[in-house]
Chains A and B, each alone.
Chain A
Amino acid sequence: QQQVKQSPQSLIVQKGGISIINCAYENTAFDYFPWYQQFPGKGPALLIAIRPDVSEKKEGRFTISFNKSAKQFSLHIMDSQPGDSATYFCAARGTGGTSYGKLTFGQGTILTVHP
């Protein structure tokens, strides 16, 4: 079974600091790596995504770093704000067999940004 492992489980950061969430996957049959942001009582919403032929993607304060050889990718939130407090999920999209097109999610990270 394809797996995506996410850490840490929870993270507390001061306003203005950098939040870093890490994910690792165990199967090479993935072709797309999105990050989702979820606020309490809401569904996950796509935040940013990357393909494995790119090592970094930046959108505003959010950056994904991707290390294909290590099968790891991470989300960096620069200048973290209290409004960034949410649960973050990494995911990986399958390319082959019964996993084609399906997302495998990490376990989630609860981010709290203190003012």
Chain B
Amino acid sequence: NAGVTQTPKFRILKIGQSMTLQCAQDMNHNYMYWYRQDPGMGLKLIYYSVGAGITDKGEVPNGYNVSRSTTEDFPLRLELAAPSQTSVYFCASSNGGRQPQHFGDGTRLSIL
């Protein structure tokens, strides 16, 4: 019963490097989300997708890009890593925009 799977679990990047955080779900959910979680700040929505080929910005999209070529996968791309992007990133999915969101276990990213 995989649910939402995120890889990698941990990563350290140097300033200016790029990387892709992977997210896959096996529940056939049409909605997928990316959040970042910073201490004392709760979760902030970065990008979301309502289905394959459709993405839209959330509250804090700057410095990130996403794509949604399949229902299952929703990768998050950091092009030029900055220290401000040090955070824990969570991917979530839901069966419709008004259904409960199911979260992965996160990717802890440090940028030095």
Q: Which residues from chain A sit less than 8 Å from chain B, CB to CB? A: 1, 4, 6, 9, 32, 34, 41-46, 49, 89, 93, 100-103, 105-108
Closest 4 CB pairs of A and B: A43-B103, A101-B97, A105-B42, A105-B43
The verdict on B109 contacting chain A, using a C-beta distance below 8 Å, is no
Evaluate contact between B42 and A89: CB separation under 8 angstroms.
yes
- Closest A residue to B104 using CB positions: A43
Evaluate contact between B40 and A41: CB separation under 8 angstroms.
no
Q: Which residues from chain B sit less than 8 Å from chain A, CB to CB? A: 4, 40-45, 48, 58-59, 90, 92, 97-98, 100-101, 103-106
Within the complex, which residue of B43, B44, B101 is in contact with A46, where a contact is CB–CB below 8 Å? B101
Bound: A37/B81 CA distance, A: 30
Evaluate contact between B40 and A44: CB separation under 8 angstroms.
no
- Whether A42 contacts B41 in the complex (CB less than 8 A), given A32-B98, A34-B100, A101-B97, comes out as no
Bound: A9/B42 CA distance, A: 11
Bound: A45/B101 CA distance, A: 8
Listed by A's residue number, 10 A-B pairs whose Cβ atoms lie within 8 Å are A34-B100, A43-B92, A46-B101, A49-B100, A89-B43, A93-B98, A103-B43, A103-B45, A105-B42, A108-B42
